[in-house]
Amino acid sequence: MKRIIVIAGHYGSGKTELSVSLAMQLAKEQGRPWRQLSLVDLDVANPYFRSREKRDMLEKAGITVHADTFGGMQAAELPALTASLRAPLENPDCQVIIDLGGNDAGARVLRQFRKYFEGDEHALWAVVNFRRYETRDVLDARAHVEAIERELEMPVTGLVNNTHLLRETTEEIILEGHEKAKALALAMDKPLLFTCYPAGVIDAGDLKGISPLMPLQLYMRPAYLDK
């Protein structure tokens, strides 16, 4: 686990859900080497399902949130990032999760912060959902990951399998995605860090043979969508 974790992926891959779930999980862990924890929302490409929308919940858990200069409350999506987001990146006692926008276009905003990624304190994770049309197979998923690497001029250091269909997810869907993710990891010579599953929908005990697993709490899923 690095001090700075950058989470990228294609649109709809679930990278924001992973960012929020990971932050909430880390906030509960004891004995972490960093006393502070921040989530930086750099998604200025998509006005929907942004981690900054969970600011109150995250800050109650002790996680500082950095995003736009309007505190995430503006009616229109404006690419105006607050200067305060540099503070956690420069603080060696703060672990930082960065939620990037989708695809290579959404990841582009990270380039202005390149000086913070010249050492070995950071990791760049690529989230892949093989149930999204744009990444339905290994070749398409690889193209997306490589496009992000080209845009950022940084290597992806690990892959995350987040193959799901939200509340319609089945064990078979996750198992199928896990096998494709292993093939992608082998083809790209990158580690498959873990496989995600929607907690409350899937029981981890039913996912035999997959390790490690990461539960996602579906914090970003509005309740009205399930009615």
- Give pLDDT tens digits for 2-47: 999 999 999 888 888 999 999 999 999 988 899 999 999 887 666 5
Q: What SS3 class is residue 94? A: strand
Angle at 69 between CA 67 and CA 70, to 5 degrees: 100
- Spatial separation of the C-alpha atoms in residues 109 and 221, rounded to whole Å: 25
For 144, the token pair is 């997306």
Number of domains in the chain: 1
Q: Are 216 and 182 in contact (CB under 8 A)?
A: no
**Residues of the chain scoring pLDDT < 50:** 74-76, 224
**CATH number of the domain that 182 lies in?**
3.40.50.300
pLDDT of residue 224: 43
pLDDT of residue 129: 96
Domain of residue 221, residue span: 4-226
Q: Which pTM was predicted?
A: 0.89
